[in-house]
Structure 1
Amino acid sequence: MEYQLCVIGAGTGGYVAAIKAAQLGAKVILIEKDNLGGVCMNKGCIPTKTLLKSAEKWQDLQKLEEFGIFVEGMAYDWQKVMERKNNVVYQMRKGLEQLIKLNKIELVVGKATFVDKNTVHLVTDNPDDERDIVAKKIIIATGSEPSRPPIPGADLLGVITSDEVLKLDEIPGSMIIIGAGAVGVEFAGIYAGFGCMTTVVEMAPTILPLCDVDMQKRMGLVLRKQHIAIKTGATVKSITRGVEGLAVTIESKGKEEVLEAEKVLLAAGRRPIFVAEELDRIGVSHTKKGITVNEKMETSIPGIYAVGDVTGMSMFAHSASHQGLIAAVNAFEGEAVMNYEAIPSCIFTQPEIAQVGMTEQECKETGRQVVISKFNFMANGKAVSMGETEGLIKLIADEKTHKIVGCHIMGAHASDLIMEGLIAIQQGLTAENLADCIHPHPTLSEAVGEAAMGLFGNMIHQVSMRK
């Protein structure tokens, strides 16, 4: 049977591409070797955010006395925490299954291997289902997997990745996390929140290397308040057996130090999943970072597209989703281009961090003349009433045009507040445009308006922090 589209991989990029193509009238087959929903739904975004919410609830209980509420005998059940996480994932997956059916997409669990540029060979658990799939267009959406850095001892029992850390039967007494990017600090927050003695080791000079400098500094202070130890500028030399379980030898400024913990979590990035020899056979260009695509998400072979983490470009679920839309539209309807200039990133620590556009460091490196304004959550009525005063809105605007070029937020609901900054950057809005918007009171969004006022004028509830 010939299909108009074959999508390999049913993660965020793959299933969105399949649904969009089906909506455009295409006959679609979607092939997934594991669970529907890919990494995000099963091993990433959804399960981690579910655990983060449990950790947040537990930590909120410790602060109830501040709100005049006294509760005795508080306790948590880790098995129940994990059970809820699994139930949330199951619920989301079942909902997606229904969407696939409603859009009349053929979903097959199996492994697809390229035969030629229009054919893949399908192998499933049922030998009778083995067959060749012929399609006019193919979208590769095979995702990524956790990287295992070449550290001696990285394969020891007790050294885990972000996949295994979501399956722990109990909270370890101690954990060393190698990597202080988004994944590392999020898991640090989860496990430290439940009482695990947590240490984060980062090779870069600061935590969250891709974040704005103010977010790096403030989150470092917050993590230390949460009793998370931080070792930056540190290279991991080896992992061996130790008294407590595992011993991690690190080197910083020419000095070696040995850290010990029950578990070691590798959180040093992800790598795309593809078979190089298979792609070479059909002529699809690729590098170690991923499959090479143009702005239309098309590979070097016309009619074959790649989306999501397998491209190595903007490895976020929301980027994969949009890439899936772009690929489907270009395959069947017309012209669409992927724009990477205004893609937000969110880090679900407590409090959250969200950012879009240029950082202060990038402005300095490129010589762009900008004005920067900062507004603290401490001066926002809603934040004070919530007891969530740890936060900051930082807006960056072009000095000449006054257009917003960067928005960085640390604080409660930062992942929701970032949309105002995203729209401003994408639509070319100025500081005055944002400041002129009437923000409802009392809300956290007022902090964005205040920061905008502070760019080229004066804030109302705080002395302007402009530079």
Structure 2
Amino acid sequence: MNYDLIVIGSGPGGYVAAIRASQLGMKVGIVEKAEIGGVCLNWGCIPTKSLLKSAQVFEYLNHAQDYGISIDGKATADFSAMIKRSRDVAAGMSKGVQFLFKKNKIEVIEGTGKLTKDKKVEVTKSGGKKETVEAKNVILATGARSRQLPNLPQDGKKIIGYRKALSLDKQPETMVVVGSGAIGSEFAYFYNSIGTKVTLVEYLDNVVPLEDEEVSKQLGRSFKKSGIKVMTGSEVTSVDTTGDKVKVVVKTKKGEETIEADIVLSAVGIAPNIEDIGLEEAGVEVEKGRVKVDEYYQTTAKNVYAIGDIVPGQALAHVASAEGILCVEKIAGMEVEPLNYSNIPACTYTTPEVASVGMSEKAAKEAGYELKVGKFPFSASGKASAAGQKEGFVKLIFDDKYGEVLGAHMIGANVTEIIAEIVAARKLETTGHEIIKTVHPHPTMSEAVMEAAAAAYDEVIHI
């Protein structure tokens, strides 16, 4: 079987690349060993958002009286039903991608793909049978898996990764979450909100440590207020799974503390899937644990490309999709510009949500910029007050000399929807004054962007 393009992996990088290639007239085959849509769609982004929505609805019901609504009886969280709903949502999305494959005449080749010496793709079927397919070009989009630490080995029962956290048979009474990045924080919020006693352990000094420090501290306060035990500047040194519960030894600045829990969730990052895909055989070089590529995702092997979590750059679904489209358009001979990795939005879907793009205030200062910084609290927002969601703020950072938007940092309700405004503004090289003069609808949460810009230039009205 001969193709113009073979894509190995059908995640948000692979399936988007395949569809764009088909739109550009290529004959495309996609190799997938598991569910269509990859980890993000089946075991990551989509099902977690389903669980988080269930948690949010549960919290609304528990605070219905705050909105003038009386409910007879007590709302209860049906954990199994929440899990089932999230699985159904993921399954529906996977079928949607399968439909798109049929619509775009993309052939799905089931099995595990591996490059050969002559840059063909050997596919091993579930029964062990092998077949070889050929293509003018190959894109590697094999994604990543949960990273394992030597002192925190996952057994899938008492010490689990994100995948198992999406499909537990029953709700644990107690849980220790190790790592407070997006994955760890989202699961900590979900399980805590439905009644699990959660301890969140973070090695660095703040939760969501890659975010601006003010945002990190605000989320830490929100977590503590909601009942999560937050242990920052702390490290899990050992775990004992021999008893009914897991004994977790946590080293803190004050000494060691032992915590007992039903489940330990390891959320300490991801490891790229670069093993056993034929990199060495095909002459594809690896650097610092990632596949080495140029700015258009060409590897060191001719006509072999790589995108997504296996290459340098942020390991995010929307990054993989953007890389896939750019890569395919370059293969097709279109004029494209390299992706600007400094203008990639990051989102954490806790309550309150966290969203950011560009430099933190600390990074901007260290880079030598003279800054104008504006903050607008949602406590001063009419829409936030009406919605009962006054927690958080929008913080904008501008270069004092030219008015360039250096960074945006948000924490609050729906900020993951608002951040795209700043991504577009940075792409268009918009200035602070232009944001101030952009009329925002009232009342909306998005007004806080205009107000934060105005605050930076001492023109703010509502604080």
| Same-fold call, TM cutoff 0.5 | yes
Greater displacement, 80-89 / 269-278:
269-278
Write the letter of the residue equivalent to 1:362: A
Please state how far the C-alpha of 1:350 moved relative to its aligned partner: 0.2
Whole-Å separation in 1 of the counterparts to 2:392 and 2:79: 30
In 2, Cα distance between equivalents of 1:153 and 1:102 = 43
The amino acid that maps onto 2:450 is G
Name the amino acid aligned to 1:164.
K
Q: What pairs with 1:9-88 in structure 2 (closer than 5 Å)?
A: 9-73=9-73, 74-88=75-89
What does 1:336-351 align with in structure 2 at a 5 Å threshold? 336=336, 337-351=338-352
Change in CA separation of 1:112 and 1:248 when aligned onto 2, cut-off 3 Å = same
Match in the other structure for 1:162: 162
Give, in angstroms, the shift of residue 122 of structure 1. Answer: 1.4
Q: Deviations over 1:157-193 (max 9, x none)?
A: 4000001111111110000001011111100000001
Deviation larger for 314-323 or 270-279: 270-279
Tell me the equivalent position of 2:126. Answer: 125
Do structure 1's residue 333 and structure 2's residue 318 form an aligned pair? no
AA in 2 matched with 1:19: I
Give the alignment's TM-score, normalised by structure 2: 0.97
Counterpart Cα distance in 1 of 2:322 and 2:357: 16
Return the letter of the residue paired with 1:110: G
CA distance in 2, matches of 1:255, 1:214: 27
C-alpha deviation, 1:4, in angstroms: 0.6
The separation in 1 between residues aligned to 2:131 and 2:197, in whole angstroms, is 51
Residues 153, 126 of structure 1: alpha-carbon distance in 2 compared, 3 angstrom cutoff = closer
Cα 1:449–1:117 shift into 2, 3 Å: farther
Query: Matches of 1:155 and 1:408 in 2, distance apart?
Result: 37
Secondary structure of 1:264's counterpart equals strand
Aligned-partner Cα distance in 1 for 2:233–2:223: 17
CA distance in 1, matches of 2:169, 2:244: 18
Aligned residue number for residue 257 of structure 1? 257
Query: How high is the TM-score relative to the length of structure 1?
Result: 0.96
Partner AA of 2:80 in structure 1: Q
Q: Deviations over 1:190-227 (max 9, x none)?
A: 00010000001111111111000111110000000110
Contact 1:158-1:263 at 8 Å conserved across structures: yes
2:80 corresponds to 1:98: no
Deviations 1:318-338 (A, max 9, x none): 000000001111112234222
Tell me the equivalent position of 1:465. none
Q: Distance in 1 between matches of 2:50 and 2:12?
A: 18
Aligned to 1:275: 275
Cα-to-partner distance string for 1:365-385 (whole Å, 9 max, x where unaligned): 222211110000011111100
> CA–CA distance in 1 between the matches of 2:447 and 2:277?
54
1:86-107 per-residue CA deviation (whole Å, 9 max, x = no partner) reads: 1111111111111000000101
Structure 1 residues 234 and 127, CA, compared in 2 at 3 Å: closer, same or farther?
closer
**Given residue 285 of structure 2, which amino acid in structure 1 is its aligned partner?**
S
Letter in 1 for 2:347: C
Pair 1:218 & 2:218 matched? yes
> Contact (CA 8 Å) 1:18, 1:30: kept in 2 or not?
yes
User: Which range is displaced more, 149-158 or 320-329?
Assistant: 149-158
Seen in structure 2, the aligned counterparts of structure 1 residues 460 and 230 have a Cα distance that, compared at 3 Å, is: same
Q: CA separation in 2, counterparts of 1:127 and 1:372?
A: 60
User: Whole-Å Cα distance in 1 between the matches of residues 5 and 14 of structure 2?
Assistant: 11
**CA offset at residue 82 of structure 1?**
1.4
Secondary structure at the counterpart of residue 116 of structure 1: coil
Other-structure match for 1:142: 142
The alignment partner of 1:135 has SS state of strand
Amino acid at match of 2:133: I
Structure 1 residues 213 and 5 mapped into 2: Cα distance closer, same or farther (>3 Å)? Answer: same
Helix, strand or coil at the partner of 2:166: helix
**Contiguous gaps of at least 5 residues in structure 1:** 463-467
- Could you list the per-position Cα deviations for residues 257-291 of structure 1 after superposition, in whole angstroms to 9, with x for gaps in the alignment? 11111100000000100126831121101134311
Distance 1:235 1:432, change over 3 A: same
More displaced 10-residue stretch of structure 1: 137-146 or 359-368: 359-368
Structure 1 CA distance, aligned partners of 2:317 and 2:174? 30
How many Å separate the matches in 1 of 2:384 and 2:70?
Answer: 22
User: Do the aligned partners of residues 312 and 42 (structure 1) sit closer, same or farther apart at CA in structure 2, a change above 3 Å counting?
Assistant: farther
- Give the share of equivalent positions with the same residue, in percent: 38
Shift of 1:152: 5.6
- Once residues 364 and 249 of structure 1 are traced to their aligned partners in structure 2, the CA distance between those partners, rounded to angstroms, is 38
Q: Distance in 2 between matches of 1:343 and 1:117?
A: 36
Instruction: Return 5+ residue gaps in structure 2 as ranges.
Output: none
1:386 CA displacement: 0.4
TM-superposed deviation, 1:150: 1.2
Residue 425 (str. 1) matches residue 426 (str. 2): yes
Counterpart of 2:199 in structure 1 is 199
CA distance in 1, matches of 2:231, 2:33: 38
1:308 alignment partner in structure 2? 308
Q: CA deviation at 1:75?
A: 2.0
Structure 1 CA distance for aligned equivalents of residues 19 and 160 of structure 2 = 34
Does residue 248 (structure 1) correspond to residue 248 (structure 2)? The answer is yes
CA distance in 1, matches of 2:10, 2:152: 34
Task: After superposition, give the CA deviation of every residue in 1:367-413 in whole Å (9 maximum; x if it has no partner).
Answer: 22111100000111111000010020000000100111101111111
Q: Is the 8 A contact 1:118 1:136 kept in 2?
A: no
- Please tell me whether residue 385 in structure 1 is matched to residue 381 in structure 2: no
SS in 1 for 2:176: strand
Cα separation, 1, equivalents of 2:63 and 2:229 = 22
Over 3 Å counting, the alpha-carbon distance change for 1:358 and 1:238 in structure 2 is: same
> Residue in 2 aligned with 1:352?
353
Query: For the residues of structure 1 that align with 2:71 and 2:202, how far apart are their CA atoms?
Result: 38
